[in-house]
Structure 1
Amino acid sequence: MTKQFVSANGSDESAINTFTVNTSPELIPKAYIISFILITLCFPLWGFANDITNPLVKAFSKVLQMSATEGTWVQVAFYGGYGAMAIPAALFIKKFSYKAGLITGLGFYALGALLFLPAAGAQSFAAFLLAFFVMTCGLSFLETSANPYILSMGPAATATQRLNLAQAFNPVGSLLGMFVATQFIIQKLNPSSDAERRALLSDGSPEALEQLSAITANDLEVIRDPYLAIGVVVLLVLLIIAFKKMPVTEEKSSNLDVKGTFKRLLANQNYREGVIAQMFYVGAQIMCWTFIIHYGTEVFMKLGMSEQAAEAKSQMFNIYAMVIFCLSRFVCTFLLKYINPGKLLMVLAAGGMTFTMATIFLDGVAGMYALVGISACMSLMFPTIYGIALTGTGDDAKLGAAGLIMAIVGGTFLPMAQASIIDMNVVFDSFSATKASFVLPLLCFVVIAIYGKRAQRNLPSA
């Protein structure tokens, strides 16, 4: 966008010259920069929680001698907290403020992380599930607050780009979470294989059960310790935000008009389809990042590695995927200056479909590389779907954000469905069930591509 100005050239005839000044909308107004940075700090915090947790499906399955399907109760509890708390969080924020929502979310996050201490002491899977649930009730508050808060910190014309910039730091936390999961959990677990642990359980002798109990207690303490550390960090961030004066970009509302808001949102086709697309995106992301360990363990054990070495190497590939995801997020944020968000979303979903097909049908390490490549295509999706879906919703965005956070429940039932396929071991007599299970992420990318195509008509070209 430009404005024209005129000036006299000083000649006798006072000829008029015109020149233009760039008045493109600011990405982040100066008055919001410090607050923007503080809110952006929350993005890597929930990225850390998400991606230190994904490898624990495999870890808990081994430590507690469960199937892959049983292990995915970790994801059900973790992402179930988002679904349960998103609407209450939105109502709370609508009545009070984004800042109040952030503080509440950080409080629940810290409490859930610290609950790992009694859960490990009790050696109770149910207690761990409760800790995950409480923690993600906090993450639900955080995401329901932070995402629309970032959108509101400047001109509407740059809102989606601004959210993509903040979301670009989410993978930094995710990468750290994956690194901690690899170095401080997976590699520190007792090297006894799943088969050896089950053999001790089947033995049933007091000596065997005592040995298994000691191994389990040690492993659960290994899982516990990183969560206690992040709980302390979250408490520190809570205190900083609590004492910092934050800008008010919304009006408190005593009349919530919940019925009217939901009626308007449900009538909004762009928003409604965005919630569906978000649910499938989250499902695809969690499936690709959770079961890369199962996929890689199968690949590398066929190449002669031990089970623990194969698991550790697979998690390293997960870290490579996150590095690519992080770099791609910055690239895609830049591309949004020139390409319609819906079009770019559609193109990257098509790329995700291509890489997923390669994951299913390529053998050996080539399939692992294809699985890593999917992350480059996923990097843009969450914040872009979020921004597109909330376009034109006005003050309804506060509850609209809750629907998009509730869509994270796609990370519960879709991974469990994939795990049930993996537990079959083989399909069609000889084809790897682990490979075949990636047909579910493939279908998710089809849904996202359709939404990107339809969204192009709802957004102006860059």
Structure 2
Amino acid sequence: MIKKFLNKNNNNSTSDTEANSIKRQSYLLPGVLVTTLFFLWGFSYGLLDTLNKHFRNVLDISTTQSTYMQVAYFGAYFVMSIPASLISKRFGYKRAMIFGLLLYVIGALCFYPSAIYLSFGGFVGSLFVIASGLSTLETCANTYIAIIGSRERASFRINAAQAFNGLASTIAPIVASYAFFGGTEDSGSKSLDSVKWTYIGVACGVFAIAVLFCFVNIPEVDEEALMAQDSEASGEIIRRASIYSPHLLLGALAQFMYVGAQVSVASMFMFYTSEVGHMPDSRGSIILSVGMACFTVGRFLSALLLKKFRPDHLMAIFATGAIIADVFVIAMKTPATSYALLVVVFFESIMFPTIFALGTKDLGRNHKRGSALIIMGVSGGAVLPPIQAVVHDHSNVNISYVIPLIAFCFVLFYSLVGCKWIKYTDDIPAGVDQKDVLSIEDEKPAVIQTEHKQTVAF
């Protein structure tokens, strides 16, 4: 299926013929509106981790069973990323985003009957529908933010937009602490009324945003035209990366490993604070929220640092920090080491948006399909947490953090090596007219001469 998708014709039936003449300044307002979507999936993800622990208390499920929610939530990204890309190519970014929002609403409403019947399977199915909508939103929104500005600032833009994702993830556990636990230690109630009404409120809010998007102007984007603008502005020829380029494929794997690590750290966070830190669930939820605040600070800080430093270098530093902090989490067994998890979460902050930007660099008209592959990597959140849960059940929570440690090591490898391994196509580069091409031969270096008499080999 993936190979067929990769070989699909590149023509975009929804590209507006006026897109070539649209200047990037006109994308400011749409970019701001699309950034609000980052808040939505951050809030949803922030609720998930506290919901995980609450279901275990109320429904008497095992640690391994509780990770089924992660499997459904992040597995939806594997299922929906490519369809979301095809929807955006066929119907445009705006309609695809509205479709994703409506899926979110439907999934949230399904929490109502699931809560009434105390059906864990119903909750898992509802989360899958929600995540299908979020997958559509992430595929479209990350791509849109990445390509509406200069290619050199793509990492900065995505990190800045993703900071609002972190902000929502900070707020959500606080809301969950009071909504699910009443702000105190668990009362022992077997009711899920708080969950039911929380998600009804979420559904209403998301539906209002979907209605808003129906009336705002979200201009379509011609990726090739924007690459041509970059080429014209910089005076250099920008080569188009192949959809089979190792930097993209390794980027998808790096995203798989990173998201798996992030979800593993978060899903076991409250188990760690409970078993090692000896904290009640309500306090553990607050500490988790502090962790997400550290994550948000890391997002804003990394966005600022990216104005001065190369994204691959900065991510390598953050990955090294996460590895060192994770080693402390594994090796130490004192209540104070619960706070080492906050350091791990802080250093995670740069990874998702930077991997996305590096992995989709110079894809041009292949950007939608390449973005779908990177977002498919989010499915790592469905694979690594169950593995960590099994390790936890058969050993202890400290040892289970070896799983995210391995993932962080791969992210470090991608920062240092993988992102630089780019394979370019033998297509005519964006911004170069057919008449300016002297020679192009399959699988051989070609020489392209522009009107400015510049000669570039690739």
What is the CA distance between 1:404 and its match in structure 2? 1.2
Contact 2:277 2:338 in 1 (8 A): no
Question: Where does residue 299 of structure 1 map in the other structure?
Answer: 276
1:35 partnered with 2:19: no
User: Which amino acid is 2:41 matched to?
Assistant: W
From 80, 83, 97, the counterpart of 1:85: 80
Which runs of 5 or more residues in structure 1 are unaligned?
A: 1-27, 194-214, 253-262, 428-432
Question: Where does residue 338 of structure 2 map in the other structure?
Answer: 368
From 423, 429, 440, the counterpart of 2:393: 423
From 120, 125, 147, the counterpart of 2:120: 125
C-alpha distance after superposition, 1:4-36 (max 9, x if no partner) = xxxxxxxxxxxxxxxxxxxxxxxx954222111
1:349 partnered with 2:322: no
User: Which amino acid is 2:272 matched to?
Assistant: Y
Question: Where does residue 10 of structure 2 map in the other structure?
Answer: none
Contact 2:185 2:281 in 1 (8 A): no
Aligned equivalents of 1:238, 1:357: Cα separation in 2? 43
Question: Where does residue 256 of structure 2 map in the other structure?
Answer: 279
Question: Where does residue 234 of structure 2 map in the other structure?
Answer: none
From 280, 290, 309, the counterpart of 1:320: 290
Contact 2:166 2:295 in 1 (8 A): yes
SS of structure 2 residue aligned to 1:391: coil
User: Which amino acid is 1:315 matched to?
Assistant: S
User: With structure 2 as the length reference, what TM-score do the two structures score?
Assistant: 0.80
From 367, 373, 390, the counterpart of 1:397: 367
What is the CA distance between 1:155 and its match in structure 2? 2.1
Question: Where does residue 115 of structure 1 map in the other structure?
Answer: 110
Question: Where does residue 150 of structure 1 map in the other structure?
Answer: 145
User: Which amino acid is 2:286 matched to?
Assistant: M
Contact 1:151 1:159 in 2 (8 A): yes
Contact 1:320 1:372 in 2 (8 A): yes
Question: Where does residue 187 of structure 1 map in the other structure?
Answer: 182
SS of structure 1 residue aligned to 2:221: coil
Question: Where does residue 379 of structure 1 map in the other structure?
Answer: 349
What is the CA distance between 1:190 and its match in structure 2? 8.4
Aligned equivalents of 1:154, 1:448: Cα separation in 2? 26
Question: Where does residue 55 of structure 2 map in the other structure?
Answer: 60
Contact 1:342 1:454 in 2 (8 A): no
Question: Where does residue 200 of structure 2 map in the other structure?
Answer: 228
From 401, 407, 410, the counterpart of 1:438: 401
Contact 1:160 1:384 in 2 (8 A): yes
Aligned equivalents of 2:193, 2:185: Cα separation in 1? 11
Alignment of 1:324-339 (within 5 A): 324-339=294-309
What is the CA distance between 1:162 and its match in structure 2? 1.3
C-alpha distance after superposition, 1:324-369 (max 9, x if no partner) = 1111111111111121111111111110000000111123232111
Bigger mean CA offset, 148-157 vs 42-51 = 148-157
1:414 partnered with 2:418: no
Structure number with bigger Rg: 1
Contact 1:188 1:222 in 2 (8 A): no
Aligned equivalents of 1:250, 1:144: Cα separation in 2? 16
Aligned equivalents of 2:33, 2:26: Cα separation in 1? 13
Contact 2:359 2:419 in 1 (8 A): no
Which runs of 5 or more residues in structure 2 are unaligned?
A: 1-22, 225-240, 423-458
Contact 1:109 1:134 in 2 (8 A): yes
Contact 1:361 1:367 in 2 (8 A): no
Q: What percent of counterpart residues are identical?
A: 33
User: Cα RMSD (Å) of the superposition?
Assistant: 2.0
Aligned equivalents of 2:45, 2:350: Cα separation in 1? 17
User: With structure 1 as the length reference, what TM-score do the two structures score?
Assistant: 0.80
Alignment of 1:179-218 (within 5 A): 179-187=174-182, 191=186, 215-216=189-190, 218=191
Give the 3 Å change call, closer, same or farther, for CA 131–449 of structure 1 in structure 2.
same
Contact 2:223 2:367 in 1 (8 A): no
Question: Where does residue 72 of structure 1 map in the other structure?
Answer: 67
User: Which amino acid is 1:413 matched to?
Assistant: V
C-alpha distance after superposition, 1:216-252 (max 9, x if no partner) = 2x2x212222111111110011111111111221389
